[in-house]
Amino acid sequence: MGDNQKQNYLTHPKGLMSWLLTLDHKRIGLMYLVSGVIFFLIGGLIALGMRLELAAPGNDFISNETYNNMYTLHGAIMIFLFIIPAIPGALGNILLPLMLGAKDVAFPRLNLASFYLYSLGAVFAVYTIISGGVDTGWTFYTPYSTQSTSNVIPMTIGVFIIGFSSILTGLNFIATVHKMRIPGLTWYKLPLFVWALYGTSLVQITATPVIAITMVLLMLERFLGIGIFDPALGGDPVLYQHFFWFYSHPAVYIMILPAFGIISEIIPVHSRKKIWGYKFIAYSTLSIAFIGFLVWGHHMFTSGQSVFSQIVFSFITYFVGIPTGVKIFSWILTMYKGQVSFTPPMLYALSFLFLFTIGGLTGIFLGAVALDIHLHDSYFVVAHFHYVMQGGTIVAFLGGLHHWWPKSFGKMYNHTIANICAVGVFLGFNGTFFPQFLLGLRGMPRRYATYDSQFVELHSYSSFWSGILGLSIFFAFINLVWSLRKSNTDDPGTNPWGAMTLEWTHTTSPPHPHNFEKDPILEHGPYDYDKVIVEPTYKK
């Protein structure tokens, strides 16, 4: 550790105010990380509560009302308070300037403002939970949401405010990528995580205003009785679905693109191999971000759209599938003739490839209109999006956390425990969600507090494994946090994995408060494992 420890962003400057008013992107990222993970654990506990209830048919522990509140909060917390803001906010904030060789993001004050907007939105969400919850589903479908007596208003205000945080972060990242790169760091020399954040940011600033407007219209309808979505007032509920999914489908790419970026970093580093198809991955990120805007109608295959719209939306949906498929093959081929180490980040990345492939392939089933009619709003859909969101995004997030943890904190965690937890997450996840595909095929509808006894076997199986999944995630976090104890002297050094990007090669672990002690000079590309040998500073 030595002298590095004396001057790093964690310990310098000191004091509570130096954190609350910090303009340092790393500290802001860390605050996102802590709040995001807390919400993730809350959302996860709620999910475990639901699985416990669903272990057997009938209302065993909780009433229908409580169940409806729980599934709404689970979805809203995971999506609006964890995945969307916290992954770009945490890993994006900590890493983007470091990867570009910059001292900070383009607008540090705006960055802090984003965090406080997120916090304010979170306060509204927490108020919603404390004051009795909300029971509309995270989708707030009208006219139920205009008629429900639960706390729809504070939750939608929360979503509205968090939307602004998302927009400002996106804006900041785009400006940072354009303006803050060091000389010589051209677009094709950017780490793919930067490309992914760039694509994410584009979607954030273009799609998020639509959800903000939709939430305002919903509030106007509830407050003033203006008929927009509620037929009783002269509105149209399907219009709401169009507005909602016009944001929420692109939002899926806000959630998954950063995960693609993380995987594009982990696999080459831990395979010590140049990434396969750099340009393809970079451009497919942008094209997926664009096509993502044109497929929202596939969420509405049973709402009575015209036959023509159904066909068009089905057609475009497949255009997202193909570049995504080629990406998966690129990541796999990256290992060809490399030197693969089965480190915890790599295990998460391999687990991602397995789970996300299932998530993607099951999307093909849902894109075929005739088949979707049967599967729509069934457990098949629940399983599909959990394979994408949890098996994809959250597994990649856990991988990224293990990958950059030694950089962020200057401490190495216990690899054996981390590997066991990674395997536990993989097994627990499949055990929980694979049976749900079968439930959906057999006709089990989603958002049911109780169910018919014909479904009991698969449901109890799913509930059992969800316990394993929950424990594995919990211990994965404990293992990480435990590594921060003072007595842990396992020093990862500046570059434990022998990576090529600037955050590893040119700064200490944890980084200096101003990122780099002197201006970094670019010596090689992000994946030049065929040209330069960078020795890892950590040997197990």
Partner 1 sequence: MDTLREYFFPKQVSTFAADIDNLFFFIFYSSVVLFAIVVFGMIYLSVKYRLKKDDDIKLTSSKDHSNILEALFFIIPLILVSITFVWGIKSYLKMVIVPDDAIEIKVTGQSWFWTFDYPDGGSTLNELVVPSNTPIKIVLSSKDVLHSFFIPVMRSKMDALPNRYNVMWFDAAQEGVYDIFCTEYCGTGHSQMGAKVVVMKPEQYRTWASELGADDESIPLDELGAKLYTKKACNTCHTLDGTALVGPSYLQTSQMWGKERIFDDGSSTIIDDNYIRSSILEPQTQIVAGYQGVMPTYQGLLNDRELDALIAFLKSLEVDSEI
How far is it, in rounded angstroms, from Cα 418 to Cα 398? 10
- What is the separation of C-alpha 169 from the centre of its chain, rounded to a whole number of angstroms? 15
Q: Interface with partner 1 includes 189 (CB under 8 A)?
A: no
Q: Interface with partner 1 includes 188 (CB under 8 A)?
A: no
Among 11, 18, 147, 287, binds partner 1 (CB under 8 A): 147
> What is the signed CA dihedral for 516, 520, 525, 526, rounded to 10 degrees?
0
Among the residue ranges 198-206, 415-423, 445-453, 465-473, the one whose residues contact partner 1 (CB under 8 A): 445-453
**Backbone phi and psi for residue 248, each to the nearest 5 degrees, phi listed first:** -75, -20
Q: Interface with partner 1 includes 520 (CB under 8 A)?
A: no
Q: Interface with partner 1 includes 227 (CB under 8 A)?
A: no
Q: Interface with partner 1 includes 143 (CB under 8 A)?
A: yes
**Backbone phi and psi for residue 357, each to the nearest 5 degrees, phi listed first:** -60, -40
Which residues within the stretch 378-397 sit at the binding site for partner 1 (CB under 8 A)?
378
Which residues within the stretch 470-499 sit at the binding site for partner 1 (CB under 8 A)?
498
Which residues within the stretch 393-432 sit at the binding site for partner 1 (CB under 8 A)?
none
Shortest distance (Å) from residue 384 CB to partner 1:
12
Q: Interface with partner 1 includes 237 (CB under 8 A)?
A: yes
Residue 378, SS3 per DSSP: strand
**Backbone phi and psi for residue 170, each to the nearest 5 degrees, phi listed first:** -60, -45
Q: Interface with partner 1 includes 354 (CB under 8 A)?
A: yes
Among 61, 187, 188, 315, binds partner 1 (CB under 8 A): 315
How far is it, in rounded angstroms, from Cα 252 to Cα 249? 5
Between 350 and 389, name the residue whose CB sits nearer to partner 1: 350
Q: Which two tokens stand for residue 273?
A: 């191999």
How far is it, in rounded angstroms, from Cα 305 to Cα 300? 7
Q: Interface with partner 1 includes 141 (CB under 8 A)?
A: yes
- Cα R_g (the chain), whole angstroms: 23
Tell me whether the omega of the peptide bond preceding residue 143 falls within 30 degrees of 0, making it cis.
Answer: yes
Among the residue ranges 44-52, 132-140, 187-195, 511-519, the one whose residues contact partner 1 (CB under 8 A): 132-140
Binding pattern to partner 1, positions 39-68, x when CB under 8 A?
-------------------------xx--x
Q: Interface with partner 1 includes 12 (CB under 8 A)?
A: no
Q: Interface with partner 1 includes 448 (CB under 8 A)?
A: yes
Between 117 and 458, name the residue whose CB sits nearer to partner 1: 458
Tell me whether the omega of the peptide bond preceding residue 13 falls within 30 degrees of 0, making it cis.
Answer: yes
Shortest distance (Å) from residue 173 CB to partner 1:
27
Under rule CB under 8 A, how many of the chain's residues touch partner 1?
A: 92
Q: Interface with partner 1 includes 377 (CB under 8 A)?
A: yes
* Distance in Å from the first CA to the final CA of the chain: 17
Residue 515, SS3 per DSSP: strand
Q: Interface with partner 1 includes 209 (CB under 8 A)?
A: no
Beta-ladder partners of 378? 445
Among 19, 127, 293, 318, binds partner 1 (CB under 8 A): 318
Shortest distance (Å) from residue 473 CB to partner 1:
23
Q: Interface with partner 1 includes 335 (CB under 8 A)?
A: yes
Between 27 and 51, name the residue whose CB sits nearer to partner 1: 51
Q: Which two tokens stand for residue 105?
A: 């993001």
Tokens 């859909």 correspond to: 381
| Residues present in the chain in total | 540
How far is it, in rounded angstroms, from Cα 273 to Cα 220? 55
